[in-house]
Amino acid sequence: MPPRKIIIDTDPGQDDAVAILLALASPEDLEVLGITCVAGNVPLPLTTRNARIVCELAGKPDTRIFAGCDRPSGRDLVTAEHVHGKTGLDGPVLPDPTMLLQDQHAVDFIIETLRAQPEKSVTLCPLGPLTNIATALQRAPDIAPRIAEIVLMGGAYFEVGNITPTAEFNIYVDPEAAKIVFDCGAPIVVLPLDVTHKALVTPSRNQAFRDIGTRVGTAVAQMTDFFERFDIQKYGSEGAPLHDPCVTAYLLAPHLFSGRHINVEIETDSALCRGMTVADWWRVTDREANALFLGDIDAEHFFKLLTERLARL
Protein backbone atom coordinates (compact mmCIF):
# COMPACT_ATOMS: atom_id res chain seq x y z
CA MET A 1 0.00 0.00 0.00
CA PRO A 2 1.32 3.48 -0.81
CA PRO A 3 1.78 5.76 2.20
CA ARG A 4 -1.27 7.67 3.37
CA LYS A 5 -1.18 11.35 2.37
CA ILE A 6 -1.59 13.69 5.31
CA ILE A 7 -1.53 17.39 6.14
CA ILE A 8 -0.54 18.11 9.74
CA ASP A 9 -2.21 21.27 11.07
CA THR A 10 -0.41 22.26 14.24
CA ASP A 11 0.57 24.79 16.92
CA PRO A 12 3.86 23.35 18.28
CA GLY A 13 4.01 22.82 21.40
CA GLN A 14 6.21 19.98 22.69
CA ASP A 15 3.55 17.31 22.16
CA ASP A 16 2.86 18.60 18.64
CA ALA A 17 6.60 18.32 18.04
CA VAL A 18 6.60 14.64 19.03
CA ALA A 19 3.56 14.02 16.80
CA ILE A 20 5.40 15.59 13.85
CA LEU A 21 8.58 13.60 14.59
CA LEU A 22 6.58 10.36 14.67
CA ALA A 23 5.04 11.16 11.28
CA LEU A 24 8.36 12.14 9.72
CA ALA A 25 9.89 8.91 11.08
CA SER A 26 7.26 6.85 9.25
CA PRO A 27 7.59 7.61 5.51
CA GLU A 28 6.52 4.12 4.46
CA ASP A 29 3.16 4.71 6.17
CA LEU A 30 2.67 8.47 5.96
CA GLU A 31 3.46 11.02 3.28
CA VAL A 32 3.46 14.45 4.90
CA LEU A 33 2.26 16.72 2.07
CA GLY A 34 2.73 19.76 4.25
CA ILE A 35 2.64 21.13 7.76
CA THR A 36 0.22 24.02 8.26
CA CYS A 37 0.74 26.17 11.33
CA VAL A 38 -1.90 27.93 13.36
CA ALA A 39 -1.85 30.14 16.43
CA GLY A 40 -2.62 28.24 19.62
CA ASN A 41 -0.17 27.14 22.29
CA VAL A 42 1.86 30.22 21.36
CA PRO A 43 1.36 32.95 18.73
CA LEU A 44 1.84 32.15 15.03
CA PRO A 45 5.41 33.49 14.62
CA LEU A 46 6.48 30.97 17.28
CA THR A 47 4.44 28.01 16.00
CA THR A 48 5.90 28.48 12.50
CA ARG A 49 9.37 28.76 14.01
CA ASN A 50 8.91 25.67 16.15
CA ALA A 51 7.60 23.60 13.23
CA ARG A 52 10.78 24.43 11.29
CA ILE A 53 12.99 23.62 14.29
CA VAL A 54 11.29 20.22 14.57
CA CYS A 55 11.65 19.38 10.86
CA GLU A 56 15.33 20.29 11.01
CA LEU A 57 15.76 18.20 14.16
CA ALA A 58 14.22 15.29 12.23
CA GLY A 59 16.70 15.86 9.40
CA LYS A 60 13.79 16.67 7.04
CA PRO A 61 14.34 20.30 6.04
CA ASP A 62 12.55 19.69 2.73
CA THR A 63 9.20 19.38 4.50
CA ARG A 64 6.88 22.12 3.32
CA ILE A 65 5.67 24.36 6.15
CA PHE A 66 2.97 27.00 5.77
CA ALA A 67 1.87 29.85 8.04
CA GLY A 68 -1.87 30.03 8.60
CA CYS A 69 -4.31 32.00 10.73
CA ASP A 70 -2.88 34.09 13.54
CA ARG A 71 -6.08 34.12 15.60
CA PRO A 72 -9.63 32.81 15.64
CA SER A 73 -11.85 34.86 13.37
CA GLY A 74 -14.38 35.83 16.02
CA ARG A 75 -12.45 36.15 19.26
CA ASP A 76 -9.10 36.94 20.87
CA LEU A 77 -6.38 34.32 20.84
CA VAL A 78 -5.87 32.32 24.04
CA THR A 79 -2.38 30.82 24.40
CA ALA A 80 -0.82 28.26 26.77
CA GLU A 81 2.66 29.46 27.71
CA HIS A 82 1.88 28.32 31.26
CA VAL A 83 2.10 24.75 29.92
CA HIS A 84 4.57 24.94 27.04
CA GLY A 85 6.88 27.77 28.16
CA LYS A 86 7.62 31.11 26.53
CA THR A 87 8.75 29.66 23.20
CA GLY A 88 6.19 26.85 23.09
CA LEU A 89 9.06 24.40 22.77
CA ASP A 90 10.88 25.03 26.05
CA GLY A 91 13.09 22.23 27.29
CA PRO A 92 15.83 21.33 24.81
CA VAL A 93 18.21 23.93 23.41
CA LEU A 94 17.79 23.63 19.66
CA PRO A 95 19.34 25.78 16.91
CA ASP A 96 17.42 28.55 15.18
CA PRO A 97 15.86 27.17 12.01
CA THR A 98 17.34 27.99 8.63
CA MET A 99 14.73 26.40 6.37
CA LEU A 100 12.23 28.82 4.88
CA LEU A 101 8.48 28.95 5.23
CA GLN A 102 6.47 28.49 2.03
CA ASP A 103 5.01 31.70 0.58
CA GLN A 104 1.51 30.30 0.22
CA HIS A 105 -0.98 30.78 3.09
CA ALA A 106 -1.79 27.55 4.93
CA VAL A 107 -5.51 27.85 4.17
CA ASP A 108 -4.84 28.19 0.43
CA PHE A 109 -2.50 25.20 0.58
CA ILE A 110 -5.16 23.06 2.26
CA ILE A 111 -7.79 24.06 -0.31
CA GLU A 112 -5.48 23.65 -3.31
CA THR A 113 -4.19 20.28 -2.13
CA LEU A 114 -7.64 18.82 -1.49
CA ARG A 115 -8.77 19.99 -4.92
CA ALA A 116 -5.67 18.72 -6.72
CA GLN A 117 -5.32 15.30 -5.09
CA PRO A 118 -7.71 12.45 -5.89
CA GLU A 119 -10.97 12.60 -3.97
CA LYS A 120 -10.74 11.12 -0.44
CA SER A 121 -7.00 10.58 -0.63
CA VAL A 122 -5.86 13.27 1.83
CA THR A 123 -6.27 13.01 5.61
CA LEU A 124 -6.19 16.18 7.71
CA CYS A 125 -4.50 15.88 11.11
CA PRO A 126 -5.31 18.90 13.29
CA LEU A 127 -3.27 19.10 16.50
CA GLY A 128 -4.28 22.61 17.54
CA PRO A 129 -7.23 25.01 17.37
CA LEU A 130 -9.30 24.34 14.24
CA THR A 131 -9.05 27.86 12.78
CA ASN A 132 -7.15 26.94 9.59
CA ILE A 133 -9.34 23.94 8.79
CA ALA A 134 -12.60 25.82 9.42
CA THR A 135 -11.45 28.78 7.35
CA ALA A 136 -10.63 26.45 4.46
CA LEU A 137 -14.04 24.74 4.76
CA GLN A 138 -15.85 28.07 4.82
CA ARG A 139 -13.95 29.52 1.92
CA ALA A 140 -14.19 26.36 -0.20
CA PRO A 141 -17.14 24.16 0.85
CA ASP A 142 -16.40 21.87 -2.14
CA ILE A 143 -13.38 20.43 -0.28
CA ALA A 144 -15.45 18.77 2.48
CA PRO A 145 -16.49 15.69 0.45
CA ARG A 146 -12.93 15.39 -0.88
CA ILE A 147 -11.40 14.85 2.61
CA ALA A 148 -10.53 11.21 3.37
CA GLU A 149 -10.71 11.71 7.11
CA ILE A 150 -10.07 14.36 9.78
CA VAL A 151 -8.15 12.78 12.66
CA LEU A 152 -7.87 15.42 15.37
CA MET A 153 -6.72 15.91 18.94
CA GLY A 154 -9.34 17.84 20.87
CA GLY A 155 -12.22 17.69 23.28
CA ALA A 156 -13.07 15.38 26.14
CA TYR A 157 -16.03 13.59 27.64
CA PHE A 158 -15.14 11.79 30.88
CA GLU A 159 -12.12 14.05 31.47
CA VAL A 160 -14.26 17.14 30.73
CA GLY A 161 -11.81 20.06 30.52
CA ASN A 162 -8.19 21.14 30.91
CA ILE A 163 -8.31 24.88 30.17
CA THR A 164 -11.70 25.48 31.81
CA PRO A 165 -13.66 23.02 33.94
CA THR A 166 -15.64 22.06 30.82
CA ALA A 167 -13.39 22.61 27.79
CA GLU A 168 -10.25 21.17 26.29
CA PHE A 169 -7.73 23.74 25.02
CA ASN A 170 -7.84 23.15 21.24
CA ILE A 171 -11.63 23.37 21.09
CA TYR A 172 -11.84 26.20 23.63
CA VAL A 173 -9.53 28.51 21.68
CA ASP A 174 -11.81 28.52 18.63
CA PRO A 175 -15.15 26.81 19.33
CA GLU A 176 -16.83 28.37 16.28
CA ALA A 177 -14.15 26.78 14.09
CA ALA A 178 -14.61 23.45 15.85
CA LYS A 179 -18.36 23.62 15.19
CA ILE A 180 -17.74 24.17 11.48
CA VAL A 181 -15.41 21.16 11.38
CA PHE A 182 -17.72 18.82 13.33
CA ASP A 183 -20.62 19.84 11.09
CA CYS A 184 -18.76 19.50 7.78
CA GLY A 185 -19.81 15.95 6.94
CA ALA A 186 -16.30 14.52 6.47
CA PRO A 187 -15.42 11.40 8.51
CA ILE A 188 -13.98 12.57 11.84
CA VAL A 189 -11.88 10.70 14.39
CA VAL A 190 -11.43 12.43 17.76
CA LEU A 191 -8.53 11.79 20.14
CA PRO A 192 -9.88 13.50 23.28
CA LEU A 193 -8.33 13.93 26.72
CA ASP A 194 -10.03 10.64 27.65
CA VAL A 195 -7.39 8.94 25.50
CA THR A 196 -4.44 11.28 25.85
CA HIS A 197 -4.56 11.32 29.65
CA LYS A 198 -3.83 7.59 29.44
CA ALA A 199 -0.73 8.19 27.29
CA LEU A 200 1.47 9.30 30.18
CA VAL A 201 5.24 9.59 29.94
CA THR A 202 6.27 7.68 33.06
CA PRO A 203 9.91 8.01 34.19
CA SER A 204 10.79 4.69 32.52
CA ARG A 205 9.16 5.72 29.24
CA ASN A 206 11.06 8.99 29.31
CA GLN A 207 14.27 7.08 30.03
CA ALA A 208 13.54 4.95 26.95
CA PHE A 209 13.51 8.14 24.82
CA ARG A 210 16.81 9.21 26.38
CA ASP A 211 18.31 5.75 25.87
CA ILE A 212 17.80 6.05 22.11
CA GLY A 213 20.99 8.07 22.39
CA THR A 214 20.36 10.34 19.40
CA ARG A 215 19.70 14.10 19.19
CA VAL A 216 16.04 13.34 18.60
CA GLY A 217 15.76 10.94 21.55
CA THR A 218 17.46 13.39 23.88
CA ALA A 219 15.40 16.36 22.66
CA VAL A 220 12.13 14.45 23.10
CA ALA A 221 13.14 13.44 26.64
CA GLN A 222 13.99 17.07 27.43
CA MET A 223 10.71 18.30 25.94
CA THR A 224 8.70 15.91 28.09
CA ASP A 225 10.84 16.76 31.14
CA PHE A 226 9.74 20.36 30.70
CA PHE A 227 6.16 19.73 29.66
CA GLU A 228 5.41 17.27 32.47
CA ARG A 229 6.07 19.59 35.40
CA PHE A 230 2.74 21.29 34.73
CA ASP A 231 0.64 18.10 34.58
CA ILE A 232 2.39 16.43 37.51
CA GLN A 233 1.57 19.46 39.61
CA LYS A 234 -1.98 19.76 38.30
CA TYR A 235 -3.12 16.14 38.18
CA GLY A 236 -0.61 14.44 40.44
CA SER A 237 0.07 12.14 37.48
CA GLU A 238 3.28 10.24 36.84
CA GLY A 239 4.22 12.35 33.82
CA ALA A 240 3.03 14.38 30.87
CA PRO A 241 0.17 13.19 28.66
CA LEU A 242 1.42 12.99 25.09
CA HIS A 243 -1.74 14.39 23.51
CA ASP A 244 -0.92 15.06 19.89
CA PRO A 245 1.25 11.99 19.14
CA CYS A 246 -1.93 9.96 19.69
CA VAL A 247 -3.16 11.33 16.35
CA THR A 248 -0.11 10.09 14.47
CA ALA A 249 -0.18 6.78 16.33
CA TYR A 250 -3.83 6.30 15.41
CA LEU A 251 -2.90 6.65 11.73
CA LEU A 252 -0.09 4.11 12.13
CA ALA A 253 -1.81 1.62 14.44
CA PRO A 254 -5.56 2.20 14.80
CA HIS A 255 -5.93 -1.17 16.57
CA LEU A 256 -4.28 0.40 19.65
CA PHE A 257 -7.37 2.57 20.15
CA SER A 258 -11.05 1.98 20.82
CA GLY A 259 -14.10 4.22 20.93
CA ARG A 260 -17.64 4.80 19.75
CA HIS A 261 -19.31 6.29 16.69
CA ILE A 262 -21.40 8.99 18.32
CA ASN A 263 -22.78 12.49 17.94
CA VAL A 264 -20.49 15.29 19.09
CA GLU A 265 -21.71 18.89 19.23
CA ILE A 266 -19.67 21.93 20.18
CA GLU A 267 -20.94 24.46 22.71
CA THR A 268 -20.22 27.95 21.42
CA ASP A 269 -22.54 30.18 23.43
CA SER A 270 -22.50 29.36 27.12
CA ALA A 271 -20.15 31.44 29.24
CA LEU A 272 -19.52 28.49 31.56
CA CYS A 273 -19.32 25.71 28.99
CA ARG A 274 -17.90 27.41 25.91
CA GLY A 275 -15.77 24.98 23.93
CA MET A 276 -17.26 21.89 25.54
CA THR A 277 -17.50 18.82 23.33
CA VAL A 278 -21.00 17.60 24.07
CA ALA A 279 -20.38 13.96 23.24
CA ASP A 280 -23.36 11.62 23.27
CA TRP A 281 -21.23 8.73 24.60
CA TRP A 282 -24.26 6.95 26.12
CA ARG A 283 -26.38 7.54 23.02
CA VAL A 284 -29.14 9.24 24.97
CA THR A 285 -30.23 11.44 22.05
CA ASP A 286 -31.26 10.53 18.53
CA ARG A 287 -28.75 12.97 17.08
CA GLU A 288 -26.87 11.41 14.22
CA ALA A 289 -23.32 10.14 14.79
CA ASN A 290 -20.77 12.49 13.23
CA ALA A 291 -17.51 11.24 14.74
CA LEU A 292 -15.57 8.26 15.97
CA PHE A 293 -14.88 9.45 19.52
CA LEU A 294 -12.05 7.39 20.98
CA GLY A 295 -11.94 6.53 24.65
CA ASP A 296 -9.09 4.12 25.24
CA ILE A 297 -5.51 3.42 24.19
CA ASP A 298 -3.08 0.55 24.64
CA ALA A 299 -0.46 2.84 26.19
CA GLU A 300 2.27 0.18 26.48
CA HIS A 301 2.23 -0.50 22.73
CA PHE A 302 1.79 3.17 21.90
CA PHE A 303 5.05 4.04 23.70
CA LYS A 304 6.78 1.03 22.15
CA LEU A 305 5.78 2.19 18.66
CA LEU A 306 6.73 5.79 19.40
CA THR A 307 10.15 4.92 20.81
CA GLU A 308 10.97 2.51 17.98
CA ARG A 309 10.02 5.05 15.32
CA LEU A 310 11.82 7.98 16.99
CA ALA A 311 14.96 5.87 17.02
CA ARG A 312 14.94 5.88 13.22
CA LEU A 313 15.52 9.64 13.00
Residue ranges in contact with ligand BDR by CB under 6 A: 13, 15-16, 41, 80, 83, 127-128, 153, 162, 168-170, 243-244
> How far, in Å, CA of 130 to CA of 16, rounded?
14
In the chain, the largest separation of any two C-alpha atoms, in whole Å, equals 53
Decide whether 13 or 217 has the Cβ nearer to Ca ion.
13
Decide whether 67 or 127 has the Cβ nearer to ligand BDR.
127
Give me the least distance between CB of 2 and Ca ion, in Å please: 28
Give me the least distance between CB of 83 and ligand BDR, in Å please: 5
Give me the least distance between CB of 84 and ligand BDR, in Å please: 6
Instruction: From the list ligand BDR, Ca ion, none, pick the one residue 83 interacts with, judged by a Cβ distance below 5 to 8 Å according to partner type.
Output: ligand BDR
Decide whether 135 or 162 has the Cβ nearer to ligand BDR.
162
Q: What Rg do the C-alpha atoms of the chain give, in angstroms? A: 18
Residues forming contacts to Ca ion in the complex (CB under 5 A) are 11, 13, 16, 127-128, 244
Decide whether 195 or 252 has the Cβ nearer to ligand BDR.
195
Decide whether 94 or 127 has the Cβ nearer to ligand BDR.
127
Give me the least distance between CB of 11 and ligand BDR, in Å please: 6
Give me the least distance between CB of 40 and Ca ion, in Å please: 6
Q: Which of 84, 243, 261, 301 is catalytic?
A: 243
Q: Give catalytic status of residue 255 as yes or no.
A: no
Which residue from 138, 135, 110 is spatially nearest to 124, judged by alpha carbons?
Answer: 110
Which residue from 6, 74, 22, 10 is spatially nearest to 249, judged by alpha carbons?
Answer: 22
Catalytic residues, by residue number, are 243
